[in-house]
Amino acid sequence: MTDDRAHTDGGTATEDETTGRPVATSGRLRGLVGAARSPLALDLGVYATYAVAIGFFVFPVLWVASASLRPPGELFSYPFRLLPAEVSLSAYRRVFRAGMVTWLFNSILVTVIGVASIVVVSVPAAYAFSRFEFRGRRGLLGIVLLFQMISPVIIIVPLYTVMSTLGLLRTRVGLVLLYVGIQTPFSIWLLKGYFDTVPMELDYAARIDGCNRLQTLRHVLLRPVAPGIAVVAIFNTVLTWSEFVLAFTVLGSESALHTISIGVYKFQGQYGNDWRAIAAASIVGMLPLVIVFLGLQRYFVKGLIEGSLKGE
């Protein structure tokens, strides 16, 4: 990492040296800050950073994918190779026989219903925080922020007794309700930001046309805040799909209720050193999210930034 800093220094030095030389500058780049002169060393340093980053962040996933596709025994053969000599789906067969279809089904169920519930609960709340002036509004917003900052891991012990009292242990409904409680604060903050950017004049106009507040929300405000709802939905999909500790605690030991994270975790406990099978289980567990992500990665970026910078 310090490498790049060194390149930055080097870049400044070469910049002065190259000042006199004619530098190829494409018209597209002319006028962009810092593009008038071309410090080659800095470019190379940045390319090197890209290469190291892509290698570090992608290689593990590729390696696991490759390991999962090998025939029994080939993972530990010599010489070492990244691409398997022969493709075999036997590891996947093993994972699916262990109950992967059930886990996938449960994860999809919990994620779809959970995310829909989170949106349904947080949109009206965000509307209220954006459109009403009432006593205690700031305080309540502060509490919502506080809940967002505090990790559910911390309250897992009392949550267990709460769920037990409510008869929600070992139920998927209970898990969905729990996700609503845990994940709405973030969604409210993010959505409130979107509501705040919509001018109040739209509300007034709808009011004059005879809409009540619910009609105003449905027919007038929903369209401008739709991008925010998309960000909230996608972001919560990732959180819900990946969540482990709450699901592990609430769903207990009954395999028929397990979500993908629990299923995969238990599976690796059972098949200790079968690295091919563990690799296959990992790939199946991440694949749905990876597909969603590759299609919609712009929204993830928005969610990350906007969900964390409440001061804006």
Partner 1 sequence: MATDGGVGERIRWSLGSVWRRLLDHPLPWLVPTLLALAVFQFYPMIQAVWMSFTDESLVRPTVDFVGLQQYVRLATDPVFWEMLEVTAIYAFSSVVLHVLAGLVLALAIDYGVRRGLRGHLTTRVSVLLAWIVPGIIIGLVWKVMLVESRFGAVNHLLGTLGVGPVPFRSDPTFALVSTIVAGTWRGTAFSMIMIYGGLQRVPRRLYEAARVDGAGRLARFRHVTLPQIKSVVFITTVLVTIYALNTFDLIFALTGGGPGRATQVLALFMYQEAFQDYALGRGAAIAVVMLVANLLLTGAYLYAFDVSEEI
Residues 233 to 262 in contact with partner 1, rule: CB under 8 A = 238, 241-242, 244-245, 249, 260-261
| Minimum distance of partner 1 from residue 176's CB (angstroms) | 11
Task: Give the DSSP per-residue string, 241-303.
Answer: HH--HHHHHHHTT-GGG--HHHHHHHHHHHTTT-HHHHHHHHHHHHHHHHHHHHHHHHHHHHH
Count residues contacting partner 1 (CB under 8 A)?
Answer: 110
84 binds partner 1 (CB under 8 A): no
208 binds partner 1 (CB under 8 A): no
Nearest to 202 by CA among 292, 130, 297: 130
Compute the distance between CA of residue 299 and CA of residue 37 in angstroms, rounded to an integer.
Answer: 34
8 binds partner 1 (CB under 8 A): yes
Q: Which of residues 86-115 bind partner 1 (CB under 8 A)?
A: none
41 binds partner 1 (CB under 8 A): no
122 binds partner 1 (CB under 8 A): yes
Beta carbons of 262 and 245 less than 8 angstroms apart: no
Q: For tokens 């080659």, what's the residue?
A: 40
24 binds partner 1 (CB under 8 A): no
HSE of 293, CA atoms in CB hemisphere, 13 A:
13
Structure tokens at 281: 């289980």
Q: Which of 113, 147, 171, 203 forms a contact with partner 1 (CB under 8 A)? A: 147
- The greatest distance separating any two alpha carbons of the chain, rounded to the nearest whole angstrom, comes to 78
| Minimum distance of partner 1 from residue 223's CB (angstroms) | 19
Please provide residue 19's backbone torsions phi and psi, each rounded to the nearest 5 degrees: -55, -45
In order of 31, 60, 128, 192, the CA distances from 205 in angstroms are 44, 55, 18, 21
214 binds partner 1 (CB under 8 A): yes
Q: Which of 100, 110, 115, 188 forms a contact with partner 1 (CB under 8 A)? A: 188
| Minimum distance of partner 1 from residue 197's CB (angstroms) | 16
180 binds partner 1 (CB under 8 A): yes
138 binds partner 1 (CB under 8 A): no
Stretch of 89-97, 133-141, 195-203, 222-230 lying at the interface with partner 1 (CB under 8 A): 133-141
Residues 6+ apart with CB under 8 A from 209: none
Q: Which of residues 265-304 bind partner 1 (CB under 8 A)?
A: 265, 268, 275, 278-279, 281-282, 285-286, 289-290, 293-294, 297, 300-301, 304
